[in-house]
Amino acid sequence: MTGATGGIGRVTVLHLASRGWDVIAGARDPAKAADLTAHAERAGVRLRTVVLDVADPASCRQAVDQAEEMTAGGLWALVNNAGVPQAGAVADVGDEQARHVLEVNLLGAARLCRLVLPAMHRHGSGRIVNISSGLGRVPWPMGGWYSAAKHGLSALTHCLRVEAAHLGVQVCLVEPGAFATPMLATATADLAAVRTPGAPGYDRTTALFNAVDRRVPGPEPVARTIEKCLTATRPRPRYTVGRDARLLVPLHSLLPLRVTDLLKHAVCGLPRTAATRTQRAVPDGSTAARPPEPEPEPEPEPETAATARSAAPPTECAP
C-alpha cells in the first residue's frame, strides 16, 4: 500500500495487519516508516515497509523489486493510496505545483499498476485498489487540480479493470468523502501559499475546510472498504464511502450544471458576475460600492453652416 504512514493509509495497513494480511507499507520518509513499524509492534501486529516515492520512477521500480523479493515472487494486491491535495484557484496554481499533484495522484498510481501487473499475470490472479475521491466526480472550486487528478485516476481505473480482466486481475475504485486525515490541513496551507491579495473564494474556502475538519469521522470505514475490495469474490467496480460522498455524488449527477454552479458559488464565496463599474470585488466574494467617477464635461457641438448663418450680422437690403 502506498502512502501508508498517515491518514487513510496508516489506518488501513494497521487494520489489514491485524486481520492477518502480509502487509508491505510504502513510505516516502524512512523516519515515518520506522515510526509506523514501531507503532505496529506496540499494537501487536506485524508489517513490513519499503521506501517509496511514487513521483520517482526509479523509486517505484526499486520498491516493487524489493517487494517481489520479500514475497518470493511478487505482490498479489496493490493499493494505490498516496495523494496530495494542492488546493487553490486554477489561475493561482503554477505549472510545477500542477505537475506534482498529477505525478503523485495519477501518474505514480498508473506506473505502479504497470509494474505489478506482470507478476499478477504469472500468478493468474491479483487485485488492484485505487483510492480516488468523491471530488473526482464532484469537481470543487479552489481544488480544481486535485479534482482533475482524481477524475483522471477514476477514468484510468475503469479502463484498467476491463483491460486486466483477461490476466485474472480484478480492479476496484474507492471514492472516499471527507475523513479526519492530514489532507484537509495540508489543503488549508496550500490556500495560504498560493492566494493572491484580494482574490475571492479563499477566506470562505479556508473556513469551510476548517469546519469540515472539526466534524468529520476517522477513516476506519475506508479501511474496511479496502479490505472488502481485497476479500470479496466478485468485488464491485466502485465503492463510495462516507455520508457526504454518497449524498453529493448522485446529487451532482442529477442536478443541472447551472444549479450546481450556483451552489458552489454560494459555498465558496465566489462572485457569479464581474464587478460593475461602480463596484469592486472584496476578498469574501461580495461587492462593495465605490463612488462613481465624475462625468466628463460635454464637448461643444461643431459649428454647422446653418448655425453660422444665423449668427452672422444681418446685411442691408438693396433699395
CA dihedral 128, 132, 249, 232 (to 10 degrees): 20
Phi, psi of 279 (to 5 degrees): -135, 160
CB atoms within 10 A of CB 75: 22
Pick from 170, 75, 173: which is nearest to 120 by CA? Answer: 75
Residue that the C-alpha cell 513521483 belongs to: 55
Instruction: Name residue, grid cell 468523491.
Output: 134
The yes-or-no answer on residue 146 being catalytic is yes
Angle between helices 144-163 and 95-102 (to 10 degrees): 30
Cα separation of 158 and 118, whole Å?
A: 19
Residue 206, all three cell numbers:
479556508
Closest by CA to 282, choosing from 266, 294, 271, 296, is 271
The whole-angstrom separation of Cα 290 and Cα 301 is 32
Whether residue 113 contacts residue 80, with contact meaning beta carbons closer than 8 Å, is answered with yes
* β-strand pairing of 279-281 with 287-289: antiparallel
Question: Do 27 and 5 touch, CB atoms closer than 8 A?
Answer: yes
Task: Note whether 296 and 287 are within 8 A (CB).
Answer: no
Alpha-carbon distances of 48 from 33, 51, 128, 223, 234, rounded to whole Å? 9, 10, 19, 18, 28
> Which residue among 21, 140, 145, 146 is the active-site one?
146
The catalytic residue positions are 146
